[in-house]
């Protein structure tokens, strides 16, 4: 029954972890989940109140496929582009699928740095492409342009980049990112730059790759305004690329929720956006400093410069580690969910309260000590 294009897509490992955690909770065990992929903060009241008002004012219907003018203009201003280069989508995920369907040629190659967000692998499969991964473990979890150049060929249709990165929190520097974009352009490949975490950074400011003719920048408000359930994202690309994606968007997401578009536009235009993001980021920074400070004494990792994840080398099979850690009261995501060479890594999400993070760190130390006592 199932179409070939989805036959190889697996959800089993994530489901398995989910079921293990649920079972432990049903048994009344206290589990701190460090698997969460969204801010633990509520959507700011500044957004909610405006959305309620917008609903009452009738923002409950279709909008233009491209999004309401007010929001497109606000985004264009924020990123220094023309509003004709902005399309609002139903979340970052819809934008990623639109871009994948628009630019990944069947039978072509898709380049994905490892580790990376699992969805990119799924998009490549849906589009019938082969994946070519670049290992980044020895280069600070960012792709090295020289290694990138070696694996490029004319068969590559799309390259995914995601900085700040899920699952590592790594941020690429401008020079390397632009070099990669240039090499991709030389081979006629489109770069899908997933910049969804661009507002959540600590000391190293992420680069936006907008304003390059072969780049589609994907973004949204799921993370920056803690709005994952509202489904509001956007893409920035030059008009020819945008028109290709519009062909998919018009039959896929169609438009993002009207009231959400209106509320976000008003928050951006009111100047409150920066303040709301920065109060959340300063909280994430405290948590990052604590979690990185404690766990990097036990396990090798790269210091996260953005997002709210950390990727650790636990020096044993990640599934076994994650399953055993449940009995110590902590859930983490096994590294195999993020591409090749990650069998000994786990992702920690610190989008959780300091109280829970303290508990989790103590429990991980407990596991580490017992393992040391048994000679690993
Ligand atoms: N891109 C990355 C790297 C993500 O981590 C996520 C969500 O976890 C998304 C995109 C999807 O965002 P959205 O909820 O806006 O679809």
* CATH number of the domain to which 53 belongs: 3.40.640.10
Residue 294 sits in the same domain as residue 340: yes
What's the mean pLDDT in 124-132?
96
Domain edge (last residue) among 210, 245, 270: 270
Residue 192 sits in the same domain as residue 120: yes
150, containing H or E segment: helix 145-151
Pocket test for ligand 1, best of 35, 165, 222 (most atoms within 8 A of CB): 222
d(CA 222, ligand 1 centre) in Å: 7
What's the mean pLDDT in 84-108?
98
pLDDT bucket at 9, cuts 50 / 70 / 90: confident
Residue 200 sits in the same domain as residue 279: no
> Would you state the pLDDT for residue 8?
81
pLDDT (tens digit, 9 = 90+) per residue, 251-275? Answer: 999 999 999 999 999 999 999 999 9
CATH of the domain at 304: 3.90.1150.10
> Would you state the pLDDT for residue 339?
96
pLDDT bucket at 14, cuts 50 / 70 / 90: low
Residue of 237, 192, 190 lying closest to 85 (CA atoms): 237
Least trusted range by pLDDT, from 12-16, 164-168, 185-189, 194-198: 12-16
Domain edge (last residue) among 215, 242, 270: 270
> Would you state the pLDDT for residue 110?
98
Q: Are 133 and 160 in contact (CB under 8 A)?
A: no
Closest atom of ligand 1 relative to the 220 alpha carbon? 15
Domain edge (last residue) among 270, 290, 309: 270
Q: What is the pTM of this model?
A: 0.96
Residue 73 sits in the same domain as residue 132: yes
Tell me the Cα Rg of the chain: 21
User: How far is Cα 272 from Cα 220, in angstroms, rounded to an integer?
Assistant: 16
Cβ of 220 less than 6 Å from ligand 1: yes
Q: Are 192 and 292 in contact (CB under 8 A)?
A: no
Q: Is the dihedral of CA 95, 99, 100, 106 positive or negative?
A: positive
pLDDT (tens digit, 9 = 90+) per residue, 108-125? Answer: 999 999 999 999 999 999
> Would you state the pLDDT for residue 83?
97
User: Does pLDDT of 376 surpass 70?
Assistant: no
Residue 74 sits in the same domain as residue 156: yes
**Using H for helix, E for strand and C for coil, what is the string for 242-288?**
HHHHHHHHCCCCCCCCHHHHHHHHHHHHCCHHHHHHHHHHHHHHHHH
User: Does pLDDT of 16 surpass 80?
Assistant: no
Residue 62 sits in the same domain as residue 202: yes
pLDDT bucket at 84, cuts 50 / 70 / 90: very high
Residue 80 sits in the same domain as residue 213: yes
Residue 291 falls in which region: left (phi positive, over 0), alpha (psi -120 to 50) or beta: alpha
d(CA 92, ligand 1 centre) in Å: 6
The Cα-based distances of 213 to 188, 236, 320, 332 in angstroms read 11, 11, 45, 39
> Would you state the pLDDT for residue 220?
98
pLDDT bucket at 21, cuts 50 / 70 / 90: confident
pLDDT (tens digit, 9 = 90+) per residue, 321-355? Answer: 999 999 999 999 999 999 999 999 999 999 999 99
Scanning the structure block, which residue is given the tokens 């018009």? 250
The total domain count for the chain is: 2
What's the mean pLDDT in 293-311?
97
Residue 9 sits in the same domain as residue 73: no
Cβ of 195 less than 6 Å from ligand 1: no
pLDDT bucket at 360, cuts 50 / 70 / 90: very high
User: Does pLDDT of 51 surpass 60?
Assistant: yes
Cβ of 196 less than 6 Å from ligand 1: yes
pLDDT (tens digit, 9 = 90+) per residue, 184-202? Answer: 999 999 999 999 999 999 9
Residue 175 sits in the same domain as residue 71: yes
Residue 143 sits in the same domain as residue 212: yes
Domain that holds residue 192: 45-270
Strand locations in the chain, DSSP E? Answer: 32-33, 86-89, 109-114, 130-135, 156-161, 190-194, 215-220, 233-236, 300-301, 309-313, 330-331, 333-334, 345-349
Residue 19 sits in the same domain as residue 108: no
Cβ of 233 less than 6 Å from ligand 1: yes
d(CA 169, ligand 1 centre) in Å: 14
d(CA 178, ligand 1 centre) in Å: 23
Half-sphere CA count of 68, side-chain side, radius 13 A: 21
> Would you state the pLDDT for residue 12?
65
> Would you state the pLDDT for residue 92?
98
d(CA 368, ligand 1 centre) in Å: 31
pLDDT (tens digit, 9 = 90+) per residue, 362-374? Answer: 999 999 999 888 7
Residue 184 sits in the same domain as residue 219: yes
């Amino acid at each position: 029954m199932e179409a070939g294009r989805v036959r190889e897509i697996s959800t089993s490992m994530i489901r398995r972890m989910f079921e293990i955690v649920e079972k432990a909770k049903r048994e009344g065990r206290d589990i701190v989940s460090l698997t969460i992929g969204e801010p633990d903060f509520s959507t700011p009241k500044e957004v909610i109140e405006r959305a309620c008002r917008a609903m009452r004012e009738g923002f409950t219907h279709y909008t233009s496929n491209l999004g309401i003018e007010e929001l497109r203009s606000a985004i264009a201003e924020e990123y220094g582009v023309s509003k004709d280069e902005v399309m609002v989508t139903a979340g970052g995920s819809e934008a990623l699928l639109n871009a994948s369907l628009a630019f990944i040629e069947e039978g072509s190659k898709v380049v994905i740095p490892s580790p990376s967000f699992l969805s990119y692998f799924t998009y490549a499969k849906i589009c019938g492409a082969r994946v070519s991964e670049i290992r980044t473990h020895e280069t600070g979890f960012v792709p090295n342009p020289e290694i990138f150049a070696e694996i490029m060929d004319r068969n590559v249709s799309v390259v995914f980049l995601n900085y700040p990165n899920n699952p590592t929190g790594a941020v690429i520097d401008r020079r390397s990112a632009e070099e990669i974009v240039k090499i991709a352009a030389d081979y006629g490949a489109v770069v899908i730059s997933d910049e969804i975490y661009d507002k959540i950074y600590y000391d190293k400011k992420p680069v936006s790759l907008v304003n390059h003719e072969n780049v589609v920048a994907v973004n949204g408000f799921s993370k920056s305004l803690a709005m994952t359930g509202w489904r509001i994202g956007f893409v920035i690309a030059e008009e020819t690329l945008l028109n290709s994606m519009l062909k998919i968007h018009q039959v896929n997401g169609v438009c993002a929720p009207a009231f959400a578009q209106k509320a976000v536009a008003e928050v951006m235009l009111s100047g409150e956006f920066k303040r709301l993001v920065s109060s959340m980021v300063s909280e994430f920074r405290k948590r990052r400093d604590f979690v990185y400070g404690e766990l990097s004494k036990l396990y090798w990792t790269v210091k996260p410069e953005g997002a709210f994840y950390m990727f650790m080398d636990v020096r044993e099979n990640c599934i076994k580690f994650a399953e055993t850690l449940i009995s110590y009261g902590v859930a983490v995501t096994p590294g195999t969910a993020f591409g090749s060479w990650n069998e000994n890594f786990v992702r920690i999400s610190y989008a959780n309260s300091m109280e829970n993070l303290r508990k989790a760190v103590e429990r991980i130390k407990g596991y580490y000590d017992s393992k040391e006592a048994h000679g690993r």
